[in-house]
C-alpha cells in the first residue's frame, strides 16, 4: 500500500509566454517566450487551442481562500469556486478554448479569436483542442446557466443580446 501524499503539496510552474490583448483593435493573442517557440510545431494543424493561464491579478492569500463567490451572470446566486469559472481559486488557473486565427512561429504569436484574460496575463501552457477529449455529447449544467448557448460559436451573439447574463 502506498503512502498518502501530503495534503497541501506544492509544485513549481513557470510561464511559457503571456496574453496580448487590445480590445479596441479586436486583437487577442498569446506570445510565447523564445525558448518555447519550437513547441509550436504542428499547432497550425489545429483550429482551436486550450490556453491555460495564471490569474495573476487575483492571486493573493485572500483570493486563494475564497471558496464561495457571487456569480456576476446570475444575480443572487452564490457558488463554490469549483462550480464556476471565477478567478478566485486555491490555485488561480484559468482556461480558455479559442479559435486559432493565425500563427507566426518566428515571433512566437498565436493569434486568437478571443480570450478572457487580461493583457500581460502569464500563460502556463497551450494544448490543442481535441473533440475526443474536450467535448462530451450529453451534458448538464447548473440552473443559473440553463439558458446559455450550447456552442461557443453562439456565445457572442447570446451575451451581446443578454448582457445581464454576463455581469454587465
Q: What is the pLDDT of residues 4-54, one digit of tens each?
A: 666 778 889 999 999 999 999 999 999 999 999 999 999 999 999 999 999
Q: What is the pLDDT of residues 100-119, one digit of tens each?
A: 999 999 999 999 999 999 99
Rounded distance, CA 93 to CA 61, Å? Answer: 15
- Specify the pLDDT at position 18: 98
Q: To 5 degrees, how large is the angle CA 68–CA 141–CA 159? A: 85
- Give the architecture-level CATH label for domain 13-55+92-130: Beta Barrel (2.40)
Rounded distance, CA 60 to CA 55, Å? Answer: 10
pTM above 0.85, yes or no: yes
Amino acid at each position: 500500500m502506498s503512502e498518502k501524499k501530503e495534503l497541501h503539496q506544492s509544485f513549481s510552474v513557470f510561464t511559457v509566454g503571456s496574453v496580448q490583448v487590445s480590445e479596441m483593435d479586436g486583437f487577442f493573442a498569446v506570445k510565447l517566450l523564445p525558448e518555447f517557440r519550437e513547441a509550436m510545431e504542428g499547432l497550425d494543424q489545429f483550429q482551436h487551442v486550450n490556453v491555460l493561464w495564471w490569474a495573476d491579478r487575483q492571486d493573493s492569500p485572500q483570493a486563494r481562500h475564497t471558496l464561495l463567490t457571487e456569480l456576476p451572470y446570475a444575480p443572487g446566486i452564490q457558488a463554490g469556486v469549483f462550480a464556476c469559472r471565477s478567478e478566485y481559486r486555491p490555485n488561480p488557473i484559468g482556461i480558455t478554448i479559442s479559435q486559432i486565427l493565425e500563427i507566426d512561429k518566428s515571433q512566437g504569436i498565436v493569434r486568437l479569436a478571443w480570450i478572457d484574460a487580461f493583457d500581460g496575463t502569464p500563460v502556463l501552457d497551450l494544448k490543442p483542442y481535441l473533440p475526443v477529449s474536450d467535448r462530451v455529447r450529453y451534458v448538464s449544467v447548473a440552473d443559473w446557466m440553463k439558458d446559455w448557448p450550447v456552442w461557443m460559436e453562439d456565445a457572442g451573439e447570446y451575451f451581446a443580446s443578454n448582457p445581464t447574463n454576463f455581469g454587465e
